[in-house]
Amino acid sequence: MMKRLFSKGRSERSENHSKLWSVTCALLIAAFLVAAAPGANAQRLRRRPRPAAPITSGKNLPNIYVDGDRVQVLETNRGGEPGKVKIKLDADGTWWKMLKVNDDNLIEQQDGAYVGDKDTIVINSSDLGETFNLEFWKAKLFGVHTYIKTETYRTEDFEGRVVRFVWKEGLPDTDPAEGRRLPPINETVSIEGKNVTIRSAEGGTAGYATIVFNTNLDWWTAIKVFDRFGNAKLIERESARYRPGDQKLLIPINDLSSDIRIEFWTAKFLGVHTHMATKGLSRDQFKGRTVTINWYK
């Protein structure tokens, strides 16, 4: 009797193992088929990115802003070749700039000259996809070569044409095609519970940034404005006297980087000069305007 029960139990266990193995094999086959199939999600992942805003062929492309600089994008048929994409950098100034499609296709400008005397990228359109990315680089503080941003363009808008990127110092912040001007400055910086206001008004000196500083704090107080060479311009007040006496800085706009750094300083315990806050603002918001900073009790 015991022998028959043991034989029966072993037979049932063997049958259960066989069923489990069959189910496992079926699941593995199904998983393999799902992974190999080019489903909708896989196709979506493989698609190339589309430009954020489609471009109308045959017209100038929308201007862009790179680290506060306005860059004009001008398209022309002159100099174009069938099946070729040509990208030209039209730049000036002393600081390094670069346009880059990839490591083999880039343009660099330094001190008003083009590295390798090359100012145009030429690529076979067949080597590009439906769209391509264009990187913008420039030298920042201490001349460090810095990646700024990427723009995505449709290859068909460039094919057979020369597209010129005008990236120059002093381009007006008003673009007639866009009909817009950067808004006035209306900022507030909170320092130890006090609101320091930064406001701009028209009527400044053309080609310059005009900065005025007012304060009534009891201890030494100052603002520092840094130029593109890393040098600080200072307005300070101590014992009710300002230096400079007119409480004003007049800085050539081209001496400033595209992002202007302003630091706020005051004397603390034992008169130690202490950095309290930093504010960054776009250079274009200073052009031809008077910017007034008020730091009151």
Residue 290 has pLDDT above 70, yes or no: yes
In tens, the pLDDT along 67-85 reads 777 788 887 767 788 899 9
Q: pTM of the entire structure?
A: 0.46
Fill in the amino acid letter for 69.
Answer: D
Do 148 and 203 lie in one domain? The reply is no
Residue 249: pLDDT over 90: yes
Residue 114 CB contacts under 8 Å (≥ 6 apart), including other chains: 89, 107, 108
pLDDT of 262 > 90? The answer is yes
For residue 54, which of 66, 62, 42, 65 has the smallest C-alpha distance?
A: 62
Q: Are residues 203 and 289 in the same domain?
A: yes
CATH number for 226: 2.60.40
| DSSP notation for the chain | -HHHHHHHHHHHHHHHHHHHHHHHHHHHHHHHHHHHS--HHHHHHHSPPPPSS---TTSPEEEEEETTEEEEEEEESTT--TTEEEEEEEE-SSS-EEEEEETTEEEEEETTEEGGG--EEEEEGGGS-SEEEEEEEEE-GGG-EEEEEEEEEEGGGTBTSEEEEEE-TT--S-BTTTTB-PPPPEEEEEETTEEEEEEEEE---TTEEEEEEEE--SS-EEEEEE-TTSPEEEEEEETTEEESTT-EEEEEGGGS-SEEEEEEEEE-GGG-EEEEEEEEEEGGGTTTEEEEEEE--
Looking at the structure, do residues 226 and 278 belong to the same domain, yes or no?
yes
Domain identity same for 70 and 124: yes
What separation in angstroms does the CA of 200 have from each of 184, 212, 223?
A: 6, 10, 16
Looking at the structure, do residues 192 and 280 belong to the same domain, yes or no? Answer: yes
What confidence tens digit (pLDDT) does each residue in 177-207 have?
444 456 788 899 999 989 999 999 988 888 8
Give domain status of residue 173, yes or no.
no
Counting the structural domains of the chain, the total is 2
Domain that holds residue 203: 186-295
Q: What is the mean pLDDT of residues 130-158?
A: 88
Domain-located, residue 190:
yes
Do 122 and 86 lie in one domain? The reply is: yes
